[in-house]
Structure 1
Amino acid sequence: MKPIWLQVLPCIAALTLAAGALFGAYHHGVTVTDEKWQSAWNARDTRDAEAKSLNEAAERTREQAYQQSINKAVQDGQRNIDQAMADAAAARASADGLRGAADNLARRLAASEASGNSCTAAASKAAARAAAVLADVLKRADQRAGDLAAVADQARARGMTCEQAYDGLIRSSALH
């Protein structure tokens, strides 16, 4: 009779082969599944990268549209400010003529005061002083009004520039 271990050896070998075959099948299934998932993840990563690239390009285009809108508003605003400054300079030149006329009137009254007779000298002197004060007040008021008008024109032009830039941004964002 054969020893027991020789009788059990074929069973152990068969069990070992069966276990090895089962482990090999299991390992092959895990490998195939891992490769399948890895392939799916790689495809997802590729789609994500493409979507990111498309989104970045769309955002760059939108940003460039915003910037062009703002640049146009700034150029238009600067043109308005330049026009306001030119108008203010023209108004100053016109006002200089008015101030010169007021100074000439005050000088003529002062000259007529000096050449007048003694009975009308006091009245003439008072009138000349009043005319000089009036001419000075007129010059100062006109100068201040010109300064305020220049500031108001520039503030208006700047406000319109901001409004135009804002409207451009709103229109651009409504399109996207």
Structure 2
Amino acid sequence: MNAILLRALPYLGAVLLTAGALFGAYHHGVSVTNATWQSQWSERDSRDAKAKSDNEAASRAQEQAFQQSINKAVQDGQRTIDQATADAADARAAADGLRGTADAIAARLAASQASGNSCIATASQAAARSAGVLADVLKRADQRAGDLAEIADQARARGITCEQAYYGISGK
């Protein structure tokens, strides 16, 4: 039995050596494949990180452009509102002059009613009251119209500002 074992020993060594070589080749192939996949994954990860960084930078730049557009629209709108407020103040000053004129006419009519003739005085008194009422209605209507015009001008300016901000963001 020892002789058989001694004759089989070189074959057994060759088989073991072949098996070891095959295992080494397999292990080397697995290592090379793993290294190849790992390098491809690393390259993909670095491309993804660069794309993410580029997208974030582009988004920040777009957001800043939008914000600048909105800021410009707000500044333009504030200028328009300030102009509307100044125009309303000018109109109010002109209306005050008109109201003063209406009051002067009513006062003149009231003063003219003090005549000696009772018939003329009664008619003049009725005309003076009518003129006073008309002057009061004119003053109130003019004041209300001025207030509404100021509100409408400011609302229009705010609406235009909103539209400009929207168009600045949407790119339309």
Tell me if both proteins adopt one fold, taking TM over 0.5 as the criterion. yes
The answer for the alignment partner of 1:130 in structure 2 is 130
Using the alignment, how far apart are the partners of 1:101 and 1:116 within structure 2? Answer: 27
Deviant stretches of 4+, over 6 Å = none
The answer for the alignment partner of 1:26 in structure 2 is 26
The share of aligned pairs that are identical, in percent, is: 73
Shift of 1:71: 0.8
The answer for the alignment partner of 1:109 in structure 2 is 109
Question: Which amino acid letter does the alignment assign opposite residue 47 of structure 1?
Answer: R
Shift of 1:5: 3.9
The answer for the alignment partner of 1:146 in structure 2 is 146
Using the alignment, how far apart are the partners of 2:35 and 2:14 within structure 1? Answer: 31
Using the alignment, how far apart are the partners of 1:158 and 1:117 within structure 2? Answer: 60
The answer for the alignment partner of 2:69 in structure 1 is 69
Using the alignment, how far apart are the partners of 1:76 and 1:28 within structure 2? Answer: 71
Structure 1 residues 116 and 4: CA distance shift in structure 2, 3 A:
farther
Task: Give the 5 Å matches for 1:42-61.
Answer: 42-61=42-61
Using the alignment, how far apart are the partners of 1:119 and 1:65 within structure 2? Answer: 79
Aligned with 1:48: secondary structure? Answer: helix
TM-score, normalised to structure 2, is 0.91
Shift of 1:6: 3.9
**Most deviating of 8-17 and 36-45:** 8-17
Shift of 1:3: 5.0
The answer for the alignment partner of 2:89 in structure 1 is 89
TM-score, normalised to structure 1, is 0.89
Give the unaligned 5+ runs of structure 2.
none
Using the alignment, how far apart are the partners of 2:14 and 2:116 within structure 1? Answer: 148
Shift of 1:26: 0.4
